[in-house]
Amino acid sequence: MKYNFGAGPCILPQEVFKQAAQAVLEFDHTGLSILEISHRTPEFEAVVAETERLVRTLLNVPEGYSVIFLQGGASLQFSMVPMNLLGDGKKAAYTDTGVWANKAIKEAKLFGEINVLASSKGANYTFIPKDYEIPKDAAYFHCTSNNTIYGTEMHQFPKSPIPVVCDMSSDIFSREVNVADFDLIYAGAQKNMGPAGVTLVIVKDEILGKIDRKIPSMLDYKIHIEGESMYFLFMYRC
């Protein structure tokens, strides 16, 4: 028996590995591997539906929020967030609290003006700045709830007059959060949820569709939501 102390990919329960291995051999009495069945089979749809139900239950996700599963990790969210929420000529507000927050800022700059409200970079990210005001005229405020490398975590979230986007990759499901305080939460699965390869996005529907930019279908939250998160699956399985 070996113990895995890596921050990610995370350790998973043995029972999960046993069920996953069984599903690779034969899934749910279908006579087929889960790797070769269609995403439109009732058995596979049940997996996706149960996963969504678990997310909604565990996080107590309110009405009006969609839960979708995407590829590309939190890193693709660094681009999808501004692509979907930051109109041309608009600005967004970010805090710079670690290497991942900094990458999010770098990627967002391709889409508009990024107002870095506060940064602890000069102190090697040893603390989370709290002394800033979120501007009312920005499209959204982006923060990173936990910074594994530096051992810092946001214990409370600022009141915001604009939509709040939060990268919770490294502390999601480790504590209670009030989802209603956020407009978009994203998290790569590999730290706190499961193996690498899927990204969870929880988004308040009403913040979408408000900018004019034409968005590639695979990078458009609305298209994934309308497809019940199956657009992606459909696209790459069919």
Among 51, 56, 79, 208, binds a copy of itself (CB under 8 A): 79
Q: Is 167 a catalytic residue?
A: yes
192 within 8 A of 9, measured Cβ to Cβ: no
Cα–Cα distance for residue pair 14/17, rounded to 1 Å:
5
Among 130, 196, 206, 209, binds a copy of itself (CB under 8 A): 196
Q: Does 174 bind a copy of itself (CB under 8 A)?
A: no
> Measuring CA to CA, how many Å separate 85 from each of 24, 82, 111, 158, 210?
38, 5, 10, 20, 7
Among 42, 62, 71, 124, binds a copy of itself (CB under 8 A): 71
* Cα Rg, the chain, nearest whole Å: 19
Q: Does 13 bind a copy of itself (CB under 8 A)?
A: no
Q: Which residues of 106-120 are buried (b: 16+ CB within 10 A; e: fewer)?
A: ebbeebbebbebbbb
Among 48, 116, 208, 219, binds a copy of itself (CB under 8 A): 219
Which residues make up the interface to a copy of itself (CB under 8 A)?
A: 1-2, 4, 6-12, 17-18, 20-22, 24-25, 30-33, 35-39, 71-76, 78-79, 83, 103, 106-107, 110, 188, 190, 194-197, 199, 214-219, 232-233, 235-238
